[in-house]
Structure 1
Amino acid sequence: MINVGAMDCHSLEHQEYADRIRLYSQRLHQQWNNGQHASIAPKGLLKDVPSHQFYLSKPTYPDDTAQMKLFTEKAHISVSHIQIDHKEAVVVPFRIP
């Protein structure tokens, strides 16, 4: 995490500014190379559940379906009530090449 508020860009010398850009670029590339990306992730339903065929072959009961529908509706209502009050600029451009 970069604490942009603690930085004073106006007092930086050009060399120090260039060094920070290079350092941020290197860290960005490191994080990108270390992380798993959506295009590389395995595709398929229930990859993390062992013997998922057993669970998928069982019948679905109406009570279970109704409960999941209720949970989904409650989640939708909750998400639709989320509000964000913008107080200040959080994202600051870094001129990274």
Structure 2
Amino acid sequence: MEYQESESEESRRLLSEGSSENGGFDTTYHTMQIDSSSGDEQSALLKIVQRTADRVIDVSAINSTNMEYQDLADRENQYRQKLNLTLSSSLQKKKILTVGIRDPQAVLSSPLIDSKFITLVQQAALAANNAVSEIKIQHKENLVVPFTVP
């Protein structure tokens, strides 16, 4: 008996029949007016809800018999254009490798730096660091002197 109940539960529609008449979602909030006395936070939230509702793709309307083929084709073209626009803008990223390098192939194909040169640079940096750490400043005069107004 439980098997038959679960089978009927699986074949039940998730969205009611009436939901596809208006596109599958309640559009009553589109007609709401923003009350200026409710504050900026409420109007900002309402704008976010309206913007999100405009971008919703209603999958229940695809199986609806109320929609004409031309409407479906128009929606498909509209979604395809939005998708292509989003994808093309996301692919326009800066190339990190070529920033500041005129010919990256020449730089990457050049021979490696000799280890003797690397050792020389490391020793020079160590000597410079030691010299800077040995610098001592001796004060000869006061840095701040009293200012007297006559």
TM superposition score category, shorter chain reference: 0.3 to 0.5
User: How high is the TM-score relative to the length of structure 1?
Assistant: 0.35
**Higher RCO by CA contacts (8 Å cutoff, separation 6 or greater):** 1
User: How high is the TM-score relative to the length of structure 2?
Assistant: 0.24
Bigger radius of gyration, 1 or 2?
2
